[in-house]
C-alpha cells in the first residue's frame, strides 16, 4: 500500500486557536481523508510547539507553570479538532518525553559533527520584558511590548551552520521543481533569502529556561526552530528505540504551512535534514492567510471569535466547506460571517440540500421510496451519465494539484446539473401519465445515482453530511461511478442545511 505522510505546523499554544489555525488543519484533514479514501496508508500529524519565552511569559502572567498553561490550551485544541471532525493520526507535543530526548540527541549529533558551534548572539534586549529584538522590530527605537529603552547585549549561544549548506540547498530546490509550492514562493525563497547569503541560525538561548536543555551545556535551552521543526521526525520515532514508523512514513509527502513560516520549512528544515543525512520532504506548500478586513487573524491582534461559535450556529460542515471552497489555495482570502452565510445558503442549502430533499421526496411520493433502473433512457441522460462517470477523475486531477476549491467546484457543477435535469425532465409532469411511469422511475434512478456519487465524492470535505446523505439514500454501493443496476429503498428525507436569513442573523448575533 502506498503511504502518504501529511503534516500541519505545530501551533504555539500561547492562546486558544482561531479560524486561521482551523484553515490549515481543515485543509490537511481534507487531503488526508481524500488519500485514505483512495486507499493510501495515511499518517496525518498535527500538534503543538510548546517551548519558548512567549509561553513562559504568558504562564507567568496567568500565575501557573508553563506546563500547566499549555496543558489547558492543548485540551482546548483537541476539543476544537474533535468538533471540526479532524482525523489526525498523531498529535505531537514538543514537551513529550520522546521528543525532548530525540531533540537532545539531534543537537548533540550536530554539535559533534561540527554543524552546530558555540558563538555569541548580539541583540537588543529589553530587561523588564526579558526579550531580544531586532532593530526592525523596535517601535521608535524602543521595546515594542512595553515601550521602554532596549540595551545592546551579547549572549553566548549555539549556532547552526546554514551557510555551509547554501549551495546544496539551491541545487536541491532547482532540481526538484515540486519541492516548494506555489511557484511564486519558491522564487521568493531562492532570490530574496538564499542567494543573498544565509546567516547561521541561533539555536540556543540562556535568557529563559522554558525549553529543552542542551544536554552538554545545561545553562542553554534549545531555541525554538530546531525544537519545532524536528517534530516531524521525532514523532515517528527517529533517534528512539522504535523507529518503525520513521522507516514507514519518512520522508513526508506534504508539509502544509502558512506563508510566513515557509522560510523555515524550505531553508532551515532541509538543512537540518541534510546535516542528519536524511531525505527531504517531497513538498512544502505555503498557503495564504485568512484575513478579516485586510488584517491577518491573529492571537496578538485578538480579532477573532472561538471557531466553535460558528459551528454552533452553522454546523461543522458549513465551516469546513467554507474554508475549503472559498479561497483559491495559495491566495489570501477574506473570512467573514456574511461570506460564510452566503456560501452556506448558495451551495449547501440551495444546490445540495434542495437536490437531495426534492429527489428523495419524489422517490417516496411516486414509488414509496423503492427505485430501480427501468432503463427508459432519453438523449439528455447520455450527457448526465457521462458527467457522473467522469466526476471522480475530474476531482482527482484538481486535488492532486491541491486545488481543493476547484475539485469541490467540479462536484457542485454536477449537483447544479442534476437540479437542471429535474427542471428539464419535469418528473411531476411524467407522474401524471401512467405510460411515463418507467421513464419517471429512470429519471429518479439517474438522480439518485448522481446524488450517491456526489455524496461519496464529498466525503473528504464534509464527512458528516456525506454520511447523512448516504444514510437517507439507504444504499451501500461504494463505486464512484454510475451503476446500471443499483437498487434504492430510500428513507424519508431530513433537511441537510437550513437556509439562514443573513440580515436577521446578523442583527441577532454578534459574531
Q: How far apart are CA 70 and CA 93, in angstroms?
A: 10
Which range of residues in 62-70, 83-91, 98-106, 228-236 is near ligand ME8 by CB under 6 A? 228-236
Nearer to ligand ME8 among residue 23 and residue 250 (C-beta): 23
Least spacing, CB of residue 231 vs ligand ME8, in Å: 6
Nearer to ligand ME8 among residue 261 and residue 411 (C-beta): 261
Q: Are strands 284-287 and 180-181 parallel, antiparallel or unpaired?
A: parallel
Which range of residues in 5-13, 183-191, 238-246, 406-414 is near ligand ME8 by CB under 6 A? 5-13
Q: Assign 372 to helix, strand or coil.
A: strand
Least spacing, CB of residue 225 vs ligand ME8, in Å: 7
Q: Assign 77 to helix, strand or coil.
A: helix
| The binder of ligand ME8 chosen from 24, 57, 95, 351 (CB under 6 A) | 24
Nearer to ligand ME8 among residue 262 and residue 349 (C-beta): 262
Site for ligand ME8 in 353-412 (CB under 6 A): none
Cell 504555539 belongs to which residue?
A: 12
* Neighbouring residues of 217: CB distance < 8 A, sequence distance ≥ 6: 118, 158, 204
| The binder of ligand ME8 chosen from 66, 123, 258, 270 (CB under 6 A) | 258
Per-residue contact flags (x/-) with ligand ME8 for residues 268 to 307, judged by CB under 6 A? ---------------------xx-----xx----------
Asked whether position 73 contacts ligand ME8 by CB under 6 A, the answer is: no
Nearer to ligand ME8 among residue 26 and residue 348 (C-beta): 26
Long-range pairs of 432-439 with CB within 8 A, sequence gap ≥ 24: 438/374, 438/376, 439/374, 439/376, 439/378
Site for ligand ME8 in 41-70 (CB under 6 A): 49
Q: How far is CA 130 from CA 12, 120, 153, 212, 213, in A?
A: 19, 17, 12, 18, 19
Which range of residues in 19-27, 336-344, 418-426, 502-510 is near ligand ME8 by CB under 6 A? 19-27
Which range of residues in 7-15, 370-378, 386-394, 502-510 is near ligand ME8 by CB under 6 A? 7-15
Tally DSSP H helices, then E strands, for the chain.
21, 17
Nearer to ligand ME8 among residue 165 and residue 304 (C-beta): 304
Q: How far apart are CA 481 and CA 468, in angstroms?
A: 19
Q: How far apart are CA 374 and CA 385, in angstroms?
A: 15
Q: Do residues 253 and 6 lie in contact, with contact meaning Cβ atoms separated by under 8 Å?
A: yes
95, 90, 89: which is closest to 73 by C-alpha?
95
Asked whether position 11 contacts ligand ME8 by CB under 6 A, the answer is: yes
Asked whether position 12 contacts ligand ME8 by CB under 6 A, the answer is: yes
Q: Assign 509 to helix, strand or coil.
A: coil
Number of residues interacting with ligand ME8: please give it, by CB under 6 A.
Answer: 20
Nearer to ligand ME8 among residue 230 and residue 345 (C-beta): 230
Q: What crossing angle do the helices spanning 66-83 and 307-314 adopt, rounded to 10°?
A: 20
Quick one: which H or E segment has residue 92? Answer: strand 90-93
Q: Do residues 472 and 361 lie in contact, with contact meaning Cβ atoms separated by under 8 Å?
A: no
Nearer to ligand ME8 among residue 43 and residue 488 (C-beta): 43
* Neighbouring residues of 183: CB distance < 8 A, sequence distance ≥ 6: none
Nearer to ligand ME8 among residue 11 and residue 165 (C-beta): 11
Asked whether position 229 contacts ligand ME8 by CB under 6 A, the answer is: yes
Nearer to ligand ME8 among residue 227 and residue 441 (C-beta): 227
Residues that bind ligand ME8 (CB under 6 A): 9-12, 20-21, 23-24, 49, 228-229, 231, 257-258, 260-261, 289-290, 296-297
Amino acid at each position: 500500500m502506498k503511504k502518504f505522510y501529511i503534516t500541519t505546523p505545530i501551533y504555539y499554544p500561547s492562546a486558544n486557536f482561531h479560524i486561521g489555525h482551523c484553515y490549515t488543519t481543515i485543509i490537511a484533514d481534507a487531503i488526508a481523508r481524500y488519500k485514505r479514501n483512495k486507499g493510501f496508508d495515511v499518517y496525518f500529524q498535527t500538534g503543538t510547539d510548546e517551548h519558548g519565552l512567549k509561553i513562559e511569559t504568558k504562564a507567568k502572567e496567568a500565575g501557573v507553570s508553563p506546563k500547566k498553561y499549555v496543558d489547558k490550551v492543548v485540551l482546548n485544541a483537541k476539543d476544537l479538532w474533535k468538533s471540526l471532525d479532524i482525523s489526525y493520526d498523531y498529535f505531537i507535543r514538543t514537551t513529550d518525553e520522546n521528543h525532548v530526548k530525540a531533540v537532545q540527541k539531534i543537537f548533540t549529533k550536530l554539535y559533534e559533527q561540527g554543524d552546530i558551534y558555540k558563538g555569541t548572539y548580539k541583540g537588543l534586549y529589553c530587561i523588564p520584558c526579558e526579550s531580544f529584538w531586532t532593530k526592525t522590530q523596535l517601535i521608535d527605537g524602543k521595546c515594542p511590548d512595553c515601550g521602554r529603552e532596549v540595551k545592546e547585549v551579547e549572549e553566548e549561544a549555539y549556532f547552526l551552520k546554514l551557510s555551509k549548506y547554501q549551495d546544496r540547498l539551491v541545487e536541491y530546490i532547482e532540481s526538484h521543481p515540486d519541492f516548494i509550492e506555489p511557484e511564486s514562493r519558491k522564487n521568493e525563497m531562492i532570490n530574496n533569502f538564499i542567494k543573498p547569503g544565509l546567516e547561521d541560525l541561533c539555536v540556543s538561548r540562556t535568557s529563559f529556561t522554558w525549553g529543552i536543555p542542551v544536554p552538554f551545556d545545561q545553562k542553554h535551552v534549545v531555541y525554538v526552530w530546531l525544537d519545532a521543526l524536528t517534530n516531524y521526525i521525532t514523532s515517528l520515532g527517529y533517534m528512539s528505540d522504535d523507529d518503525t514508523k520513521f522507516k514507514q512514513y519518512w520522508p513526508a509527502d506534504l508539509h502544509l504551512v502558512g506563508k510566513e513560516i515557509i522560510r523555515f520549512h524550505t531553508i532551515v528544515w532541509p538543512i537540518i535534514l541534510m546535516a542528519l543525512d536524511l531525505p527531504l520532504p517531497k513538498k512544502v506548500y505555503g498557503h495564504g492567510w485568512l484575513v478579516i478586513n485586510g488584517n491577518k487573524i491573529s492571537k496578538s491582534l485578538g480579532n477573532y471569535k472561538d471557531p466553535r461559535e460558528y459551528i454552533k450556529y452553522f454546523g461543522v460542515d458549513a465551516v469546513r466547506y467554507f474554508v475549503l471552497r472559498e479561497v483559491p489555495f495559495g491566495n489570501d482570502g477574506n473570512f467573514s460571517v456574511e461570506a460564510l452565510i452566503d456560501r452556506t445558503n448558495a451551495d449547501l442549502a440551495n444546490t445540495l440540500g434542495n437536490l437531495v430533499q426534492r429527489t428523495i421526496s419524489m422517490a417516496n411520493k411516486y414509488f414509496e421510496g423503492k427505485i430501480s433502473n427501468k432503463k427508459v433512457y432519453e438523449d439528455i441522460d447520455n450527457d448526465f451519465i457521462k458527467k457522473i462517470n467522469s466526476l471522480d477523475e475530474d476531482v482527482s486531477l484538481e486535488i492532486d494539484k491541491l486545488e481543493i476549491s476547484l475539485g469541490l467546484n467540479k462536484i457542485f457543477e454536477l449537483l447544479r446539473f442534476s437540479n437542471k435535469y429535474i427542471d428539464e425532465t419535469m418528473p411531476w409532469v411524467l407522474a401524471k401519465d401512467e405510460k411515463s411511469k418507467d421513464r419517471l422511475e429512470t429519471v429518479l434512478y439517474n438522480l439518485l445515482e448522481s446524488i450517491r456519487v456526489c455524496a461519496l465524492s464529498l466525503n473528504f470535505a464534509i464527512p458528516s453530511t456525506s454520511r447523512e446523505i448516504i444514510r437517507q439514500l439507504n444504499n451501500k454501493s461504494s463505486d464512484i461511478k454510475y451503476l446500471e443496476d443499483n437498487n434504492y429503498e430510500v428513507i424519508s428525507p431530513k433537511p441537510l442545511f437550513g437556509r439562514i436569513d443573513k440580515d436577521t442573523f446578523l442583527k441577532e448575533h454578534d459574531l
